[in-house]
Amino acid sequence: MTLHKHVAAADERLLSRLAGADQPVLDQAMLRLGQAANHGALWIAVAAALAARRSKWTRRAALRGVAGLMIGSTAANAITKQVVGRTRPEGAADRSSGPLRTTSFPSGHAASAAAFATGVALEVPALALPVGGLAALVGVSRVVTRVHFPSDVAAGFDQGHGELVAGQLASDGGADHAAADHGDVVAGRPRSDR
């Protein structure tokens, strides 16, 4: 059996288990979280909250997060989905909060979430856990509501995160500089002499 078939079989098994679980409260919460992330609205709200703070670092994090959101969303929705063209799980349109306009692979919600969270964390590492945790929940919401296969979400996370890390390495002059940058965080806060 090929790797593709193994992944597809694992996707189907997990979605079947989710379909058999009767968890209306969880289903509703995950549906609403996915809706909040539609068109990047959740991430723009988080960015606005960060930008409203007095810290230049949180304002920079907001800007980098929104830039990441734009890159992640465009790459996933306008490029990768068009090339791959994977169909969504059976019945996804019935469980969606609105019409599903794109194909399944990768999850644009997950790519956008990962790109936003990575952008924020590159500026303020102390925000990696809360913003990354919210991003992870958005990805989980796409599987729990069964509008994406688990591998769609994993690929979206990978794509969104990878684009921002690659951009960081390119803008910082490569891996040696990025590795040295880890010393820029003291007690969870960026150094102010940058």
pLDDT for 87: 67
Looking at the domain assignment, is residue 143 inside a domain?
yes
pLDDT in tens, 26-61: 777 877 888 888 888 999 999 999 999 888 898 999
Q: State the Cα–Cα distance between residues 157 and 154, nearest whole angstrom.
A: 5
The answer to whether the beta carbons of residues 155 and 23 sit under 8 Å apart is no
Q: What share of the chain is helix, strand, coil (3-state, %, to 5)?
A: 75, 0, 20
Residue 9 lies in a domain: no
Residue 30 lies in a domain: no
Q: What is the pLDDT at residue 4?
A: 67
Query: Under DSSP, is residue 190 helix (H, G, I), strand (E, B) or coil?
Result: strand
Whether 2 maps to a domain, the answer reads no
Question: pLDDT for 101-114, tens place per residue?
Answer: 666 678 888 988 99
CA atoms within 13 A of residue 34's CA, in its CB half-sphere: 25
156 three-state secondary structure: helix
Instruction: Classify residue 62: in a domain, yes or no.
Output: yes
Q: What is the pLDDT of residue 113?
A: 92
**Residue 13 included in any domain:** no
Q: Domain limits at 89? A: 39-182
What is the C-alpha to C-alpha distance for residues 81 and 75, in angstroms, rounded to an integer?
Answer: 9
* 15 located within any domain: no
Flag whether 14 is in a domain: no
Answer whether 0.85 is exceeded by the pTM. no
Q: How many domains does the chain have?
A: 1
| Region label for 146, one of left (φ > 0), alpha (ψ between -120 and 50) or beta (otherwise) | left
Please give the Cα distance from 144 to 124 (Å, whole number): 30
CA diameter of the chain? 56
Residues of the chain with pLDDT below 50 are 93, 174-188, 191-194
